[in-house]
A and B are shown apart, each in its own frame.
Chain A
Amino acid sequence: MNEQTLIQHALKLLTECEYEGQDATPAALAAKLAISPQQVDRLLGELRKAELLDADGLSLTASGREYALHVLQAHRLYETYLARKTGLPESAWHALADEREHTLSRDEVKKLAEDLGHPRFDPHGDPIPTAAGEMPPRRGQPLVVYPAGWTGRVVHIEDEPSRLYARIAQAGITTDTVLRVEKNDDSGVRIRLEGLTVAFPGEVAAQITAVELEAGEVFDESVERLSSLRRGEKAEIVGMSSLCRGLERNRLLDLGVVPGTVTAVELINPSGSPVGYRIRGACIALRKEQADHIRIRKVRQ
C-alpha cells in the first residue's frame, strides 16, 4: 500500500469506529491495516502533523472527518455501482471498491452519485454519506440480542469476514428481509423468513443488524418464495427482494412480475431449473436463483 492509500484507509477505519460507537486503538488499526505497531505510530504522527487527527487520542479533526467521509462515500457509492450496473459477484465488490475509493476525485464521486440517483444506502445497508458529509444515526441491534418471538426488519449485513457472510447470503437474507426470531440461546439463533427456517451460530447472527418493524408493518407468515411454488398451486406476487437488482429487476418488472400478479407453475425442467411460470398470460421461464428473489403469497383455488 502506498502512503496515500494507507492514510485514507486509516481515516476510513477511524470514522467507521466513530460511527459504530467503538473505541479505536492503535492495536486494532495495526491488525486491520496489516502493518506493524511501529508503522501505526509513524502513520498516526503524520496524520496529526497534517491536522487530520487530534493531537492527543484517536479522534478525528473536522478536516480529518471531512476527508474520511469523502473516501467512505466513494467506497460505498462504488459498491452500489458494482451491484447495480455490473455482473460481478458480491465477493468481488469490496476489494474493487477498496481500490477505486482512492482514485475517484470529488467530481467523479458527485457524478457517480447523480448517475445512480443519489442512493442512500449501499448494498450491505451501510448509509452513504452525502456530499455535505451527512449520515443518519446508527440504527438497530445485532440479531443475537433479540429474544425468541421478536419480529423485525434487517437493515444491515456486515460483509466481512466473507466466510460468515457467505452463509447469510446463501440463505437469501438481504437488507429488506422481514423475519421472526424463533429461538435464541447458546447454540445460536433460529429465524423464520419467507417460508423458511434458518439456524445460524451466534457469530453469524451477530453480523446481521435488525430494527423493529415500523408502525402498521407485520411479519407475514404466509409470504414465501416463488421457488417454493408447486405444480397446481396458485400464488400472488408480493414483491421482489433487494437481491434482484439492476437490469434484471427492470426486466422482470417489464414482464409483469409486479405486486398483485397471480402466477402458477406451468412447466418444470427435469433438472428443477428453470421453471416456466404463467405471468400475465405469458409463460416465462425463470431460473431457481431468480425465483428465490421473488416473494409470493399462495392463494387458495
Chain B
Amino acid sequence: MCIHTRIMADSEDLDFNPFYKLLQTRFMNKFETAQKKCYLVCIPAATALQGININQNFVDTHILRPSPYFRSHYESTDKTGNKSIAIENGFVQTKDGFSVNTKIRILSEELSYNKDYKPFKILIIEKPLDPRFRTGNFVSLSPVDTYTNSISFQENKKLLFQFPEHRVPLSILDQNIKQFNMNYMILQGYLDHAAMKLQDMCFTATESILKVNRNTRRNADRRMVDILTIAVESYVMGCVHSKVFPAVCQKCCRDDNKICSKEKELQGVGGDEFGVKTEFCCPLPASVVELARLDGLYTPLEKLFCLKSTLDCISEEVNYFAKDNVVAGNEVPCIASDDLIPLLVTVLIQSKSTHLISNLYYIEHFHWATTSKDDLSFSLVTFKAATEYFLNTDFSHLKPLAPKMRNEMTLEEILLAKKEQENETGEKGERSRDSHKVAYRTRGGSFNRELDNITRMIEKTTTSPTNTTTPMKSLFAEYDQVQASGFAQRSTVVPPDVIPSSSAHTRLQTPLGDFLSSLKNDVLDGTYGKGD
C-alpha cells in the first residue's frame, strides 16, 4: 500500500489508526490480554479520533468481553464492567452505562487470530462508543491527512515545492535532471542503464528530501515517506519524459505497429468473437475513452493510474449491463480474469492506442515507487496479459459484424447512418420495401429517436470552439505540448471510437455522463448481446 490516493480511501487502515497504535505500545498489556481471552475490540475510525482523549477508561470501554447471558452482547472490561453493547445488523448498539444510547455503524471487521490461532473480533466502527470522550485536543490527525491526492506531474511538482526546506535538495535534483537531459545519450539496447540512472537520481533526491522534510523528521509515518517518494519519481520522470519516452517508443515500435495493424484489422469485431460471455457483451464507451488518454499522459505513474481506471470503467460498465439484464432469480455473474482479458481486448481495439507496448514498457521499467503486489500492479499485469494474448493469437478468421448487428458504432458510422436515414425519409415509398432496411423499420421509432439523440450529442460535442461558450479542451492537449517541444513520435492521432465528453477523472467520479447514460439507457429494441 504505497500510493496515497489509497490512504484517503483506506482511512480505516489500522496501521495508521492512533488508537490501534496505542494498543500496540502504551496499552500493549491490555491488548494482549484481549487477544488471549478472545475479547471484542472496537476501534473507532482514525478520522473520528481527532480531539479524543485515549486513556485507560477509553481502552476499557472499547475492549469488551462476551456477555455470559446473551448472545451478541458484550460488557466493558473496566473494573465494574457496567457498560454493555449489542451487535445488531451491522451496528453497535450501546446499552447500559453510556452517557447516551446510540447506534454506531460497523465499517469493517478484521479477521483476527491470537497467538494460539483462536479467532477474535476487531471491529472498525464509525465513531467512539461514547460521545463524552471528546473532551480535548488530545489526538490530532497525522500531517499526511492534510495532503490531497497527487497523481499528475503538476500536482506532484506542486507538492514537492510547497515545502521551503526542500529548496536545496530540489535545486540539486534540478541540476541533475538538466544534466541528464542535455548530456546523457540514450543508446538503443541500453534503456536499462537509463532506467538505473534515473532510479539512482530519484533515490538520492528522495533520501535528501526525507532528511530535511519537517513531517518525516518529526515522525515516521510511512505514508508521508511514500507520498514524497512518489512525488520525486513523478517530478523526475515528468521532466525527462520528452527524452526517455521517444527512446522507449523506438525500442517497442515493432510490437506497437503490430498491435496497431491488428487493431485496424479487427475494427468492428464483436466482443463475443473474442470470447466475452454473452452476459457481459455490451458497449464500453467510457473504458475506450479512458484508455485513449494513455498516450497523452506524461509520467509512468499517471499512465499506470490510467490503466487501473480503464479496468475500473470496464467493471463498472459491465456491472451496469449485467445487473440490468440478469434474469430474475439468478445471481449477477462476477468478472474474473478469464472475462477481463477478452473485454480488455475489445477496448484496446476501439481505443486505437498507437504506443500501447511502449507505454507498458515505460511503466514497467521507469516506475519504482509502488509495490508489485497491489491493485495498480494487477492492472499492469492484466494489460500485459491482454496485449500478449492479442499479439500472439491468430484472429484472422474473425470478421466484423454488419453495422446493424453490432453493439458499437464508430463516429463516422453514426453520422453515415443518420445521413442514410434522412435520404431514406426523402425517398419514402420506393425504398421502404428494400429488404435490408427491414431491421431499421422493425425497430421503429425508438431507433430513430435514439439515432437522433446520438447525432445531436455528437454535433454538440464536435461543434467548433468559436460557436460554443465553453472552450474545448483537446483530449491530447498535454501530448500536443510535448509534441511541440520536440517529441514527434506519434505522427497521427487516431480518435477513439467514442466521443469523449469530459475529463476522464470527472467521468470516474460521476459514473456515466449524459452522453454515455443515454447510450446505456437506450431504447433500441435489440439487446446488446450477441447479434444472431
A and B interact = no
List residues of A whose CB falls within 8 A of some B CB: none
List residues of B whose CB falls within 8 A of some A CB: none
